[in-house]
Structure 1
Amino acid sequence: MRFRDGQRLQLEHPARGGRAPLSLRLSVNRRARRISVRIDARTGEAVVVAPTERGLEQAVAFAGSRSLWIAERLNARAPGVAMTPGATLTVLGEPTRLEATGGAGAARFARDGSQLLIRAGGEGEAFTRRVLNLLRAEARCHLSARTAVHLQTLGLAPVTLSIGDPKSRWGSCTPRRRSIRYSWRIVMAPPAVLDYLAAHEVAHLVRADHSPAFWAVVFDLVGDPTPHRRWLRDHGATLHAVG
């Protein structure tokens, strides 16, 4: 059987006994150095990655050998949070309730006592789109500010900054183009974690690797990065499950 990029398959559940099969998506990433499997928190499926389409056959076999690990991770994954009225997510680590206002007004922040709110007009996809637009704008605002601070600290010139929604990375830096791309989802993390991410990507303008010299630059900018890295490892799936 010839496999292709983007194809979806069903893996037999390792527990069997009438258990639903595991959903597996095939992905080709030319930059990948080896075959790997990850869990997509948003779609609730496993993704097996191969460097080439020819390597997908081996990748499927590898995923099959990891079916128990896949089943455990899927079972433990964070429940999804839809951007619908009444839902609660976090903004800079603060619980934030979504409320519909009626009409077609843009999303905006508000407070009800100590409760932070996002109020937006519309229904269904229109409501979700307005909330997402606000969160992306908030992410750009805070990331631009912290990126500028770290650039100034290192005596570096401004960069081109963009906001996206990558499925696994929180940020990426292309030193030769002097560009940094961030995931908007980091705006849901505590401010210190967002600041760490900005420092991490700016540090790549100095060192493009993850050598001790690179981590020394990060340490000079934000101190010990270990707690922030641990927070992303422990809570990242929850952020990816929103939307």
Structure 2
Amino acid sequence: MAYRDGQRLPLDERGGPGPVLRLSVNPRARRLSVRIDARAGEAVVIAPSERGLAQAVAFARSKGVWISERLAARPRGRPLQPGQVISLKGRPVRLEATPGAGAARLVEDGTVIRSGGEGEAYARRVENLLKRLARDVLVERTEHHLRTLGQRPVRVSIADTRSRWGSCSPHNRTIRYSWRVVMAPPPVIDYLAAHEVGHLVHADHSPAYWAVVERLIGDHRPLRRWLRDHGAALHAVGR
């Protein structure tokens, strides 16, 4: 069977429900490998070329128990509801209910989010507040990095993506961010803005690109690692 980059197929070759493999071709890869994408709930199978994908799939299926265990251990979704404690810019914030249908707001020196509504309406109001807060900080950090690099303004949008924290389209000068990064500590938020602004200079992830990011924020490696280690938990909030 011929496999292709980006294809998804079941871990169990007999098909049916269960873990999913996502095939990825990376010419820079030196060997076959499998990594867990906890945010998307998939195992990513990596090969240096499409010709190597068949062997990579066989390798992944030989690791089926390990893959299933890792995916089962990923953070589970938690609805946004009164009494829950979430993170906002790296600090704990408690969710509280208030009578009526008022919009969510940040109160008590930023330690409480209070909102009206019930059930899904309550969750939607809280999420809308988090999106507004995310836009505010991400626009501010984006504009800061644009000025540092002497770049023209861009259009910023906020989304709820499952597999990417952000994306940049240099040709139409747009940057899109996941609102969920507003739950991360400020240096991580700043790293994401620098990461995407850096793509206006270099669209790839070459050494020259990473040099731009380092110029903007210094050593980015601990911040990338933080997102990798904690990202799945942020993506579970409100799911």
TM-score exceeds 0.5: yes
Q: Distance in 1 between matches of 2:57 and 2:120?
A: 35
Q: Which runs of 4+ in 1 moved over 2 A?
A: 5-12, 21-28, 32-42, 45-50, 58-66, 78-81
Match of 1:237 in 2: 232
Match of 1:82 in 2: 79
Shift of 1:177: 1.3
Shift of 1:79: 3.7
1:152 to 131, 147, 157: 147
Match of 1:53 in 2: none
Shift of 1:38: 4.2
3-state SS of the aligned residue for 2:94?
strand
Judged with a 3 Å threshold, the aligned counterparts in structure 2 of structure 1 residues 233 and 106 are, in CA distance, closer, same or farther, namely same
CA contact 1:106–1:120 (8 Å) conserved in 2: yes
- Is residue 182 from structure 1 mapped to residue 174 from structure 2 by the alignment? no
Match of 2:208 in 1: 213
Shift of 1:230: 1.2
Match of 1:15 in 2: none
Letter matched to residue 196 of structure 2: E
Judged with a 3 Å threshold, the aligned counterparts in structure 2 of structure 1 residues 10 and 70 are, in CA distance, closer, same or farther, namely closer
Q: Distance in 2 between matches of 1:206 and 1:7?
A: 32
- Please say which of residues 203-212 and 63-72 is displaced more in the overlay: 63-72
Match of 1:191 in 2: 186
Q: Distance in 2 between matches of 1:238 and 1:88?
A: 13
3-state SS of the aligned residue for 2:42?
strand
Letter matched to residue 92 of structure 1: K
Match of 1:222 in 2: 217
Match of 1:54 in 2: none
Q: Distance in 1 between matches of 2:174 and 2:116?
A: 34
Judged with a 3 Å threshold, the aligned counterparts in structure 2 of structure 1 residues 217 and 60 are, in CA distance, closer, same or farther, namely closer
Match of 2:88 in 1: 91
3-state SS of the aligned residue for 2:18?
strand
3-state SS of the aligned residue for 2:117?
coil
Judged with a 3 Å threshold, the aligned counterparts in structure 2 of structure 1 residues 98 and 6 are, in CA distance, closer, same or farther, namely farther
* Alignment coverage as a number of residue pairs: 223
Q: Deviations over 1:193-232 (max 9, x none)?
A: 0001100100110011111111111111111101111111
CA contact 2:160–2:179 (8 Å) conserved in 1: yes
Q: Distance in 2 between matches of 1:85 and 1:148?
A: 35
Percent identity over paired residues: 56
Match of 2:50 in 1: none
- Is residue 72 from structure 1 mapped to residue 69 from structure 2 by the alignment? yes
Which sections of structure 2, spanning at least 5 residues, go unmatched? Answer: 1-5, 27-31, 47-53
CA contact 1:24–1:47 (8 Å) conserved in 2: yes
Judged with a 3 Å threshold, the aligned counterparts in structure 2 of structure 1 residues 144 and 47 are, in CA distance, closer, same or farther, namely same
Q: Distance in 2 between matches of 1:102 and 1:11?
A: 49
Q: Distance in 2 between matches of 1:229 and 1:142?
A: 18
Which sections of structure 1, spanning at least 5 residues, go unmatched? Answer: 13-20, 51-57
TM-score of the superposition, structure 2-length normalised?
0.80
